[in-house]
Chains A and B, each alone.
Chain A
Amino acid sequence: MLEHWPALDWLEIISENFMVRGGRPLYVLDRIRERYPIVMHGVSLSIGTTDPLNFDYLRDLKALAERVRPAWVSDHLCWTGVGGKNAHDLLPLPYTEETIEHVVARVRLVQDFLERPIVLENVSSYLTYRDSTWSEWDCLGEIARRADCYILLDVNNVYVSAFNHRFDAMDYLRAIPVDRVVQFHLAGHTNNGTHLLDTHDHPVIDPVWRLYAAAVRRFGPLSTLIERDDHIPELPEVAAEAEHARRIQRQIDDEAFAEPRLFLADDQRA
């Protein structure tokens, strides 16, 4: 990366990987930030846990955001642990009024503390709770509206969960408020026959590309990230997928696919 400076529009970092004191991770991050816009994507906010908010974590997250000056800071609509323990996994929530009130109150506290809006991503899930009285899509939209936060729409996660829970992915897209979505994620998954697993270790499949085209039609040509965590191919292969996303966007809208669309106040821009 530091040798070739590939032509990338922007980069997303996993926040926790850089919440360290020093050394190579922060050295590389600072060099990269000089040349590319960055968005911060976290996995441990655990906005849906019933444990108290972890302000040590939030302090570190805020310090990293001050260093990186990201276009935005995102995490997931999920919980990651309870009783002080962390599963390091994105665990599903029951979609109930209790959950909505709980998450909305916490998102507000987090946004006040970070002094910036946050962006919540929909997760892939493998189970649903009988107690759920809301659909996932209505719950996510309601939380975004009530808490005044934004949405990172992971198109592959919609596809995976639609298969696993037998809903229509288009119902999901149609219910998400257009003015709340700021970014898309795309990824590959693993088909286990009875269920799909969100493994980020394969190329994006055609049905997900089609769903992406539908998402671009509804939400506009938003910043799009191809996620790859395992079996990571050479950069040109992932770049080709990013180019495919660009082509879809161009087909649907002539608007340029470039930097993350900044919605923060000017003085928070890098």
Chain B
Amino acid sequence: MMKLSLSHAFFWRMISAPDGVAAGLAALPESDRLLPTGIDGWIRGDERVGAVERLDIYASMYFFRLLDCLAEDFPALHAVLGHDTFHHIARDYVATHPSRHPSLRTFGAALGDFLDRAPLREQRSYLGDLARFEWSLLEAFDAADRTPLPPERLRTLPAEEWPLVRLELSPSLRVIDAAAPVQEVWAAATDGQEIPSIAMRRTVLRIWRHDLRVFHRVIDDLEWAALQSIERGEGFAATCEAATRIVGEERAALEVARTLDRWLDDGLVVGFDTSATG
């Protein structure tokens, strides 16, 4: 009798073999075959469905469930690549990045980085960025809830406290530093329009959730620098210095104020303290 742990391990190897159970079985080294009686000594087949075919039912459900999950989570990538190429990529991704989480929700997390390294027939260098953008939309969708800060709370703050203000931003906020305006491809694809050809042009996008809806927006260098400053835990004074390096001293204060207003309107600021140092 085969130990349960061995049976599971063997079952797993069979259903996750990329070319099906028969090929997976043939590819096993002799020492690894575990089964002196062959697969029929382990699984009961009959004249309707043989043992290998029965395992193949599970093998095919294994792959197609993960493929469907990726197609659902990356609709624009799926549209851009077309089903066959997407299928090939999913096959390689499933083989190299099997799901390690109880929820399918996290399965596609590494697809963007995987695409950066994947040799693609279809050479579109923004594919990794597009995947990361779509993944960020999902992450923002069910990130932790925080109530946006009422704008008056900051607008009524005494001027002398401003340099010490450290902002806390929504847990749903994600920023994608993309090599192309992937949001244009995404919008066309998810609208069922023809995929536009886009020029490679650095595009920084912020993605966030407000009132249960997920939004995205292209941001400029100043806003990106300000977000990075906040992420480093810096206070408002340091954020303004970062802005000064980009737009010069004359415009910095005004531009930062505008950016902050936009964040407040977008529900991006969820809290603050006045404990910044330096």
Contact = CB atoms under 8 A, between A and B. Distances in A.
Interface of A: 16-17, 19-27, 44, 46, 48-50, 54, 57, 79-89, 91, 93-94, 96, 98-99, 102, 126-131, 164, 166, 194-195, 197
B16 to A, nearest CB: 8
A84 B142 contact: no
Given A82-B5, A194-B48, 16 more contacts: A22-B143, A23-B145, A24-B212, A50-B5, A82-B8, A84-B100, A85-B99, A86-B101, A87-B62, A88-B69, A94-B2, A127-B44, A127-B51, A127-B54, A129-B44, A131-B2
B3 to A, nearest CB: 7
B271 to A, nearest CB: 15
A130 B99 contact: no
Contacts of B209: 23
Contacts of B69: 88
Nearest to B101: A86
Interface in B44-89: 44, 46, 48-49, 51, 54-55, 57-58, 61-62, 65-66, 69
A235 B258 CA distance: 48
27 contacts: A16-B105, A21-B145, A22-B142, A22-B145, A23-B140, A23-B212, A24-B212, A26-B142, A44-B102, A50-B5, A80-B102, A82-B5, A82-B8, A83-B12, A85-B16, A88-B99, A89-B65, A94-B2, A96-B1, A98-B4, A102-B4, A126-B54, A127-B51, A130-B44, A131-B1, A164-B49, A166-B46
Contacts of B66: 88
Contacts of A21: 142-145, 171
Contacts of B172: 23
A153 to B, nearest CB: 23
A142 B183 CA distance: 56
Given A16-B105, A21-B142, A89 B62 contact: yes
A85 B100 contact: yes
A46 B66 CA distance: 18
Contacts of A96: 1, 4
B99 A86 contact: yes
B9 A129 contact: no
Given A85-B99, A195-B49, A94 B7 contact: yes
A21 B58 CA distance: 31
Contacts of B4: 48, 50, 93-94, 96, 98-99, 102
A128 B43 CA distance: 6
Nearest to A79: B8
B268 interface: no
A58 B62 CA distance: 24
Contacts of B197: none
A166 B45 CA distance: 12
A86 B15 contact: no
B52 to A, nearest CB: 10
Main secondary structure of the interface of A (DSSP, over half): loop
B142 A89 contact: no
Nearest to B172: A23
Contacts of A129: 7, 42-44
Contact of B7 (A54, A86, A128, A131): A131
Interface string B1-29: 11111011101100110000000000000
A230 to B, nearest CB: 10
Contacts of A87: 12, 15-16, 58, 62, 65, 99
Most buried by B among A22, A57, A166: A22
A182 B192 CA distance: 46
Given A102-B4, A128-B43, A89 B48 contact: no
Nearest to A102: B4
Contact of A82 (B3, B9, B42, B103): B9
A46 to B, nearest CB: 8
A22 B143 CA distance: 5
Nearest to A128: B44
A17 B51 CA distance: 34
B266 to A, nearest CB: 16
B150 interface: no
Which of A20, A49, A127 has the most CB atoms of chain B within a 10 A radius of its CB?
A127
A83 B10 CA distance: 11
B248 interface: no
A86 B100 contact: yes
- Among A22, A44, A87, A98, residue most surrounded by chain B Cβ atoms (within 10 Å): A87
Nearest to A133: B1
B263 interface: no
B8 to A, nearest CB: 4
A166 B44 CA distance: 12
Given A88-B65, A128-B43, A128-B44, A19 B58 contact: no
